[in-house]
Amino acid sequence: MNLIKNLQWRYAVKKYSDELVSEDKIDQIIEAINLTASSCGIQPYRLFVITNAEIRQKLGEGSFNSQIYASSHLLVFAGFNTITNDYINTYVEMTERQRNLEVGALDILKNTLISHFSIQTPEQNATWSSKQAYIGLGTALIAAAELKVDATPMEGFNPELFDDILGLSEKGLHASVIMSLGYRDEENDYLASVPKARLPINEFSMKIH
């Protein structure tokens, strides 16, 4: 199975070469993230793809993760700060159009979502959105591996700095998790030649019949 082989190939790259990832491959990774599962399908986060060297240098200030600026592309997964009624209305209407349904066909779903999120605190909304963004991160890692593009998922960054530099707060968003993309520098990355270490399957997983 190619998927398993590709996942065995991937690791969290520490040092990237200067080789850039083609826009075609970046677009495929973006599309894969857009196709990611999300609770109720409402995609409560947005993706920022950053190549600007000056911006990335600023984003990496104070972080031990040099991959923020020393890679081909940087992906920022930014969760919603709140799930508004307007967003739910707009999203459900879009779904009805894309599925060729009558207007109001998904009113039960819409009303259920509005009822649920209206009683959640902003903190609960933001936490939930970030968890949904992590599902997108997982898909991005798999998509990159399938395309033989190296990647590094990262939590070691200053989210407030990202929010400020990227103007996320004004967009109703917050930086949840980030990921760099590029190609490994095999000569200078100490992990490039290290065997992958994982628990034995029978220790990691349990089948309950």
Nearest Cα to Cα of residue 109 among 101, 79, 130 = 101
- Tell me whether residue 110 is in a domain: no
- So what's the pLDDT on residue 186? 94
pLDDT in tens, 92-143: 999 999 999 999 999 999 999 999 999 999 999 999 999 999 999 999 999 9
| Euclidean distance between CA atoms 14 and 27, whole angstroms | 23
Both structure tokens of 118: 């209206």
Cβ(164)–Cβ(157) below 8 Å: no
Residue 130: give the domain boundaries: 2-83+120-192
d(CA 7, CA 10): 5
Q: Which residue has the tokens 């997982």?
A: 138
Please give the Cα distance from 103 to 92 (Å, whole number).
10
pLDDT, one tens digit per residue, over 131-158 is: 999 999 999 999 999 999 999 999 999 9
**For residue 23, what pLDDT is reported?**
97
Residues 59-94 have pLDDT tens digits of: 999 899 999 999 999 999 999 999 999 999 999 999
Could you give the number of structural domains in the chain?
A: 1
Average pLDDT, the chain: 96
**CATH no. for residue 162?**
3.40.109.10
User: What local confidence, expressed as pLDDT, does residue 1 receive?
Assistant: 63
Say what percent of the chain tops pLDDT 70: 100
161 belongs to a structural domain = yes
H helix count then E strand count, the chain: 8, 4
- The pLDDT value recorded for residue 62 is 87
